Structure 1
């Protein structure tokens, strides 16, 4: 298949086209769905460039809206699978692609659904590139990484403070549940900031670009669910030591301390200084403790 060159000047959707399409569909961006449509072609080119897509890739896009980013993705990758919860927008998207990229129309696959409920897709995506709805960005990223192991890398645009939390490292004051759970699946870093004036409607805060590269989770005898349960418990009461924060999770403070020590972790440390491997060790230690106890 012949794709347009990466530096292609093919037209992208600007403010005029976005408003025309919205008027045609009688659509107004809603806070409920977290919709903010990109109206600047240079921003789309920047996102696609930072994503470093290969021409053979299948890209997963969530919340394509009126198709701003979709066009840019079709210029760079072999296939695009777009998940759209808004029925009107999902039905209109293929027509928009036929209008602006008729030669790539067959490379778009629209899934009209809630991304948080999707567990099967028509193709196996290798990359996730999306302007994610602000209100569900973190759950969507974690859900997709869990259910689609074929996703090897990606770039998502989220609310700037959410980008900072996803990319935070141990010891950072904003390091928390999103940071650790994302680190279970991938190496994550913040890849840039996008201003407010490139969206319609303009949000009240800048957006951040978050890049991830899939990696193997820490080696552990515990399941992902067991590790995530430790993470949730540790950050439920941030100011508490691990011994205190994990007391209910373990059954008592004394048992929590025994498990934490067995994992090679300081019981008086707080969750925000532990990396994902340490949480995995604590989950494994609890599993071992329970196995030993049941055999006594």
Structure 2
């Protein structure tokens, strides 16, 4: 970094990982083999990229900061299994970045705190059959991702992420392993995708239910959902769905598990009336 006068840019959320032990933990969490194709988000100064290239068959790494090009040219020199792409991952179709044909690719990334959630959902919603996704994120975000119902940090992110994946916490990372040091701890999370066969109606109801419930999490289910009854097929439709699932309209919506949110959305979706198509 000194040689190429690289100064981390706060506006890009650049906190470069500089600890061999943490790099090894991230690679181990991804369970890489020479048969694996890995998409990395955020090349940074290439420390994680190098570790991935040593374990995987091919690494496609995406970096938004073009000023890092001279440094990366040196760090990644001779790494024939690494393809460096400069650009914003949110503007790319992840599938288009991967070699074709490819089965069960993996994602590994040290994500900027300020844009963690948009990137994760961009990847999950891309229609790529990911085998595993491993992220280094702010610990507070990791806690929300893995939280069960009833926990004070359980919320919309918990439900949405867990509807796509089985989520595991693979380790806590102190600020001391970054340049510069962030003010908070980070964590390694491992996501293993699960089948998500939502019909269009169920998907729309699911998203609407989750957003509505957690925008008024202290309310009971009936009071929380009454404003969107018409979008869920009417009050009678919602009440019948709740009865069929054994859910009490007086319980708080924040107590529902991701599976219960799905089941409620699926039943309401079968008699959908007036729900917007977006």
CA separation of 1:268/1:255 partners in 2, compared to 1, >3 Å: closer, same or farther? farther
- Aligned-pair distance for 1:50? 2.5
Q: Could you give the per-residue CA deviations for residues 105-130 of structure 1, whole angstroms, max 9, x where no partner exists?
A: 22112222222232131425611111
Structure 2 counterpart of 1:182, from 155, 161, 164: 161
2:140 match: 161
Query: Distance between the aligned counterparts of 1:270 and 1:51, measured in 2?
Result: 37
Give the secondary-structure state (helix, strand or coil) at the position aligned to 2:80. helix
Which of 153, 168, 177 aligns to 1:198? It is 177
User: Does structure 1 residue 46 correspond to structure 2 residue 28?
Assistant: no
The match for 1:217 is 196
Find the partner of 1:170 among 138, 149, 155. 149
Number of residue pairs matched by the alignment = 267
Contact 1:64 1:84 in 2 (8 A): yes
1:232 aligns with 2:211: yes
Q: TM-score, normalised by structure 2?
A: 0.87
Match of 2:220 in 1: 241
Give the TM-score of the pair, scaled to structure 1: 0.82
Q: In the alignment, what sits opposite 1:5?
A: none
1:133 paired residue number? 112
Aligned to 2:41: 62
> Does 171-180 or 26-35 show the bigger shift?
26-35
Tell whether the 8 Å contact from 2:203 to 2:265 is kept in structure 1 after alignment: no
Residue aligning to 2:50: 71
CA distance in 2, matches of 1:257, 1:110: 55
- C-alpha spacing 1:27/1:283, structure 2 compared with 1 (3 Å): same
Q: Do 2:233 and 2:269's aligned partners in 1 also have CA atoms closer than 8 Å? A: no
Q: Cα–Cα, structure 1 residues 41 and 84, in superposed 2: closer, same or farther, change >3 Å?
A: same
Give the structure 2 partner of residue 82 of structure 1: 61
Unaligned runs of 5+ in 1: 1-18
Q: Aligned partners of 1:180 and 1:218: how far apart in 2?
A: 16
Moved over 6 A (4+): none
Quote the Cα distance in structure 2 between the aligned partners of 1:247 and 1:257. Answer: 11
Q: 1:268 to 1:257 in 2, by over 3 A?
A: farther
Given candidates 272, 281, 285, the residue that maps to 2:267 is: 285
